[in-house]
Amino acid sequence: MTTEVKVPTLGESVTEATIGEWLKQPGEAVAVDEPIASLETDKVAIEVPSPVAGVMGQQVVAVGDTVNVGAVIATIEAGDGKTAAPAAAKAEAKAEAAAPAPATSGGDSVDTVTTMSPAVRRLVLEHGLDPTKIKGTGKDGRLTKEDVLAAANAAPDASPAPAPAAVAPAPAAAPGRQEERVKMTRLRQTIAKRLKAAQDTAAMLTTFNDVDMSAVIEARARYKDLFEKKHGVRLGFMGFFSKAACLALKDIPAVNGRIDGDEIVYNNYMDISVAVSGPSGLVVPVIRNAETLSFAEIEKTIGDFGKRAKDGTLTMDDMTGGTFTISNGGVFGSLMSTPIINPPQSAVLGLHRIEDRAVVVNGEVVVRPMMYLALSYDHRLVDGREAVTFLKTIKEAIEDPTRLLIDL
C-alpha cells in the first residue's frame, strides 16, 4: 500500500515553500509522525511528518524545488524498512561511496551519513572528517554546517578525503580567486525583499543616545544567583530593555503604532519582536503582551526563542505580529548601527556592545560601562521630538532601574 505525503498548511497567506532537506532516504523505516523532510518558508523552516508508519518510498521532488500547499512530495510504502528497495540501495551506495565509514558500537550501526543534508555531507567530504565522531547540535542530534566547520577547525592537520579515482581532477584555480554560487534560501530572499521594501516605503530616520550600564550591571551582579535559583533562568540585559521599552511605548504610543493606508493604527498592547540569529538568517519571534510579563517571564521567553531558532523549530505563530522590535547587535560586537524597521512596524531599537569609556559625571572624568542606543523610526508617523523623548526614557530607565518598578 502506498501513502502520499503532501505539503501541509503552512500558515496564513503562505502558499508555497522550498524543499530544504530530506531527513529520510528511500528504503529507510519511518515511524508515524516522524519528520521526513524540512521545508523552508518565507519565515521559518517546517518539518513534514509522515502520516503513517512504513518505508520511505519515492522522493517526488528534489532539494531546492518550490512546492505548493497540498502538493505530493513523497510516498510511504508498507513495510518495516529492514530491506531497502534495489533502486534505493543503489542510490544510497552511490551517495555514500566517498564518505567515511560510520563507526559502530555494540553491534548497532550509527546511521549518521544518511541523515546529513547535501551541504553538510559535502563539507564532511571536503575536510575528510568522520561524521560519527562529530557531536551534532541540530534537531535530534543532526549535524549542521557549523558543527562540521568547528570540527574541521579543531583538527587542522586532518588530511582531506581522496577524490574518487574515476573523477578527473579539476584544473587548478588561481590562488585566492575561487568563487562559489549558492542559491538564496527562501527565508533570505524574503528578508532581502522586506528590508528593501522598508527603505522604499518608510521615511526612515535614526536618532542616537548612549546609556550608562553601571546600575543594570550592578543589579545583575547582586541578584543573578537568587534570580536563577528562584526562576530557573539567568537575568539578562534584554529583560531590562524590554521593560524599559514598554515604559517608553506607553508614554509615546506613536512608536508602537503603524500606518495602514491613510489611517494610523495605535495598539493598546505591546508585542515586542526580538531579533534572533538562526541557521538561515535573522528571525524575529514575538513576546506577546510584554507589558504584562515579569522579568523572569521575558527572559524565559527569549531563551526559548533562541534555542528554537537554533533548532529550526520556531513556528509561524511565533513570528506573526509584533508592534515594536529590539535588535541586539552588541552580542556580535557591534559598536553602533542604524537598524532597519521591520514592516509594518514604525520603529526598531538597536542595542550595541558595552565598553568602558571616559565620561564626565558631576564635573569629573570617570570611566563607565557605556552602550550606544539607536532608534530607527518612520518619520511619517513618529516626529523627531517623540523619537528623542522615547530614547531618553529608555536611557533614564536603564540608568535608574527603580523607574521600572514605580512606572516613572
Active site residue 127: no
The sign of the dihedral angle between the CA atoms of 43, 49, 55, 61 is negative
Q: Which helix (H) or strand (E) holds 115?
A: none
Set 33, 65, 317, 383: catalytic member: 383
Q: Three-state SS for 373?
A: strand
Query: Is 383 known to be catalytic?
Result: yes
H helices within 256-339, ranges in order? 295-311, 316-319
Q: Which residues contact 406 (CB under 8 A, 6 or more apart)?
A: none
Q: How far apart are CA 176 and CA 338, in angstroms?
A: 33
Nearest-angstrom CA–CA distance, 72 and 8: 10
The percent helix, strand, coil of the chain (3-state, each to 5) is: 35, 25, 40
Beta bridge partners of 377: 205, 347
Beta bridge partners of 370: 212, 355
Beta bridge partners of 356: 369
Nearest in space to 331 (alpha carbons), one of 195, 247, 236, 231 = 236
Residue whose C-alpha cell reads 552511490 in the numeric block: 94
The secondary structure of 164-175 as a DSSP string is PTTSPPPPPPPT
Catalytic residue among 65, 140, 317, 379: 379
How far apart, in Å, are the Cα atoms of 213 and each of 267, 272, 370? Answer: 30, 22, 6
Do 17 and 46 contact (CB within 8 A), yes or no? yes
Cell 567515511 belongs to residue: 100
Q: Which residues pair with 56 in a beta bridge?
A: 76
DSSP 8-state class, residue 61: S
The DSSP H or E segment spanning 208 is: strand 204-212
Give CA–CA dist 283/315, Å, rounded. Answer: 11
C-beta of residue 359 within 8 angstroms of C-beta of residue 370 = yes
* Nearest residue to 127 via CA among 156, 102, 93: 156
**Positions marked catalytic:** 379, 383
